[in-house]
Amino acid sequence: MFHRICKKRDPKTKRIKTTKYLKMEIWKADPTFTNFVPKTAVEAVDRFTRCQRNGLRPMLVPECLISCAKGLDETQLDLFEAWIINPNGSLDGVELVEQTEICAANDKIFEENAARIDRHCSHWSKNLPLVPDVDDEKKEPTGLPPMPRMRRQVTSDYVRPESPPPSDQSSEALETPPEASSASLSLLS
Q: Which residues pair with 8 in a beta bridge?
A: 17
Mean pLDDT of 172-177: 50
Taking the CB of residue 132, how many other CB atoms lie within 10 A of it? 5
Sorted by sequence, the CB contacts under 8 Å of residue 162 that are 6+ apart come out as none
**Per-residue confidence band for 92, with pLDDT thresholds at 50, 70 and 90:** confident
Mean pLDDT of 151-165: 64
DSSP string covering 51-100: HHHTT--GGGHHHHHHHHTTT--HHHHHHHHHHHH-TT---TTPPP----
Mean pLDDT of 52-80: 94
- Can you tell me the distance from the alpha carbon of 47 to that of 83, in angstroms, rounded to the nearest whole number? 13
User: What predicted TM-score, i.e. pTM, was given to this entire model?
Assistant: 0.42
Mean pLDDT of 21-29: 74
Least confident of 20-34, 79-93, 102-116, 135-149: 135-149
- Can you tell me the distance from the alpha carbon of 163 to that of 184, in angstroms, rounded to the nearest whole number? 15
pLDDT at position 189 is: 47
Q: Where are the beta strands (DSSP E) in 112-160?
A: none
| % of residues, the chain, pLDDT over 90 | 33
- Can you tell me the distance from the alpha carbon of 123 to that of 86, in angstroms, rounded to the nearest whole number? 53
- Can you tell me the distance from the alpha carbon of 110 to that of 118, in angstroms, rounded to the nearest whole number? 12
Q: Taking Cα atoms as reference points, which of 75, 80, 10 lies closest to residue 45?
A: 80
Mean pLDDT of 112-126: 81
pLDDT at position 17 is: 55
Mean pLDDT of 138-161: 68
Mean pLDDT of 7-30: 65
pLDDT at position 140 is: 62
Q: What are phi and psi of 27, to 5 degrees?
A: -65, -35
> Number of H helices and number of E strands within the chain?
9, 2
- pLDDT of 121 over the 60 cut: yes
| Cα distances (angstroms) measured from residue 13 to each of 9, 65, 136 | 8, 42, 90
Taking the CB of residue 34, how many other CB atoms lie within 10 A of it? 20
- Can you tell me the distance from the alpha carbon of 179 to that of 90, in angstroms, rounded to the nearest whole number? 97
pLDDT at position 128 is: 67
- The string of pLDDT tens digits covering residues 97-111 is 788 899 999 999 999
Which has more confidence, 86 or 122? 86
pLDDT at position 68 is: 94
